Structure 1
Amino acid sequence: MLIISIVTYNPDLGLLSRTLISLNESVGFAKISAKIKLIDNTQHDSVILNEDWVAQYWKGPLEIIKVGHNAGFGIAHNLSFIYGSDYHLILNPDIDISFSSLRNALDFMEVHPECGLLTPYAIWGDGIFQRLCKRYPTVFDLLLRGFAPAFVKKLFQTRLERYEMADQLNNHDVLWDPPIVSGCFMLFRTDVLQQLGGFDPRFFLYFEDFDISLRAGKISRIAYVPQVKVVHHGGHASRKGWRHIWMFGRSMVTFFNIHGWRWW
């Protein structure tokens, strides 16, 4: 049994419909029992994002939870946790999953019971490889990657590639134990996620995936599995305005206060 948790906030319905269609195809190909729990953080009642709309694209069991306010990413996902499932997929509403990805992911988890968290091979919408695995960051790494202009990033390209584990990631080899993986696609064993207590509510948005990755790595193993392929259309906090930049900075401080500061 697989629970698929998707949190939305004023979602792009075009991207969300593509996500649901790809899920429907991938679940069907895998021949598994799966339920979507859609947690809507939108602050006004949406007459569009309802069961009838979702049913156009997703044909399986569904539960929509209307939070009524923006509870944040991690807290909203925590509302989806239930006992009785074997696996729990944390998924962004802007992810396209290849038809064979869920079968490949669950086959890997079944063969490797030591794996408590799986992350996929991802590309951006333009086809460029998106590295979802990271080494432990420094403040400089985060500011450089998130906000520096292109010519400055080019000067520190070797450093950024090391942070993004470019020396170890490819499209065919499994990589065990990357320290940090992205929250856009996190396939957990449900019992591991429950041991962790879900996401830390101190993170409203950003770095909740960094935090839970580090905690998951202490009680199980994390695997990057490139046979699980997705297209990710989101990201880029610096392009979303000053409010997102402020939230990024606040969560960064929270992260380093918990796990230890590294400046350079």
Structure 2
Amino acid sequence: MITASVVTFHTSYVDLKRLLDCVLHSSIDIFFIIDNSSNDSLREFASLSDKIVYIHSDNLGFGSGHNIAIRRSIELGAQYHAVINPDIYWEGDVAKLLAGFMDKQEDCGLVMPKVLYPNGDIQYLCKLLPTPMDLFGRRFIPFKAYQEKHDAWFELHRTGYAKVMEIPSLSGCFMFMRVGTLKQVGGFDERFFMYAEDLDLCRRIGEVSKTIFYPEVSIYHKYEKGSYKNRKLLKYHICSVVKYFNKWGWIFDKKRTVTNRKCVEQLGIK
């Protein structure tokens, strides 16, 4: 069984309908809409199919919402669960292809497909584990040349994003995960309201299994970068990043150093 979930918050009807069209033509057996909106106007989408389960929830954050679906997936005995953003869409049966890959990679707990902008350009969402400078410097140091050079290294541009790679930090916009692994690590850390929860989960999954980028499958992502445009979202972003480094270490993080060194050596980009 393959389950999946989306967390909504007054989400665009157009975006959600487009995602659901993809879901309903895929191998996803049950799709959870966890609605953190102040009203339940999105409930009407549950009438599209018996495979859609709508749950109106208190807004306790992105990870908390997805954990509702993850717990249900564990109870149902699902084999795989996908965490999907509302602004994602694809062609073909992505879930079937990713499940087929995972079936052959029993040591893989998380896989992310190639993520494209709507115009077909690659989104560089494979990353090393961040230092404080990686997250704060790239955002607040106003030198374009520095930012471009830093991003090229941090986001592993030199790999070309054309081969299967084990990557320590993969984007939360589309996370296809083994339910047994999710049960083992406990799902998202609900102390993160929004942002960095995917980084934290990916890192914890990486401690017990492989986290893999699989470019043979691709999806599309509008990628609004909300925290770059909205001060409230920026505040959430900064608070979550602080919580992340308080949890894992700011300057001294031996596991980060070892993991990143192993990654770049395996990819041959030292």
| Structure 1 position 239, deviation (Å) | 3.1
Identify the residue that residue 136 of structure 1 maps to in structure 2: 129
Residue 167 of structure 1 aligns to a residue whose secondary structure is helix
Kindly state the Cα deviation for residue 127 of structure 1 after the two structures are TM-superposed: 2.6
Q: Among residues 208, 215, 220, which one is paired with 1:219 in the alignment?
A: 208
Q: In structure 1, what is the equivalent of residue 33 of structure 2?
A: 38
- Alignment partner, residue 109 of structure 1: 102
Matched, 1:237 2:226: yes
The aligned runs of 1:83-232 (5 Å cut-off) are: 83=74, 84-147=77-140, 152-171=143-162, 173-176=163-166, 178-232=167-221
1:53 aligns with 2:42: no
Q: Look up the match of 1:5.
A: 5
- Residue 156 of structure 1 deviates from its aligned partner by 3.4
Distance (whole Å) between structure 2 residues aligned to residue 187 and residue 104 of structure 1: 11
The DSSP-based 3-state class of the residue aligned with 1:79 is helix
Q: Letter of the 1:185 partner, please give it.
A: F
SS at match of 1:71: coil
Are the equivalent residues in 1 in contact too, given 2:138–2:147 (CA < 8 A)? no
Deviation readout 1:20-63 (Å, 9 max, x if unpaired):
112222x1xxxx451001100002x233x12x43444xx45121
Taking every aligned residue pair, what percent have the same amino acid on both sides?
A: 32
TM-score by length of 1: 0.88
Write the distance in 1 (CA, Å) between the matches of 2:127 and 2:224.
15
- Inter-partner Cα distance in structure 2 for 1:155 and 1:250: 25
Deviation for aligned residue 1:235: 4.0
Task: Name the SS of the counterpart of 2:6 in structure 1.
Answer: strand
Distance 2:164 2:144 in 1: 28
CA distance in 1, matches of 2:33, 2:144: 37
Aligned length: 248
Stretches of structure 2 that go unaligned for 5 or more consecutive residues are 253-270
SS at match of 1:23: helix
Q: Are residue 65 (structure 1) and residue 55 (structure 2) matched?
A: yes
* SS of the residue 1:158 aligns to: helix
Give SS of 2:34's match.
strand
Between 122-131 and 197-206, the greater mean CA deviation after superposition:
122-131
Name the amino acid aligned to 2:56. Answer: K
SS at match of 1:183: coil
Q: Which has the higher helix share?
A: 2
Are the equivalent residues in 1 in contact too, given 2:22–2:91 (CA < 8 A)? yes
Runs of 4+ aligned structure 1 residues displaced above 6 Å come to: none
Q: Is the 8 A contact 1:136 1:180 kept in 2?
A: yes
Judge conservation of contact 1:237–1:248 (CA < 8 Å) in 2.
Answer: no
- CA RMSD after TM alignment: 1.8
Quick check: 1:147–1:238 contact (8 Å CA) kept in 2? no
> Are 2:111 and 2:177, in contact at CA under 8 Å, matched by a contact in 1?
yes
Amino acid of the residue matched to residue 199 of structure 1? F
Q: Which amino acid aligns with 1:53?
A: F
One-letter amino acid matched to 2:88: I
- The answer for unaligned runs of 5 or more in structure 1 is none
- Structure 1 pair 239/258, CA: closer, same or farther in 2 (3 Å)? same
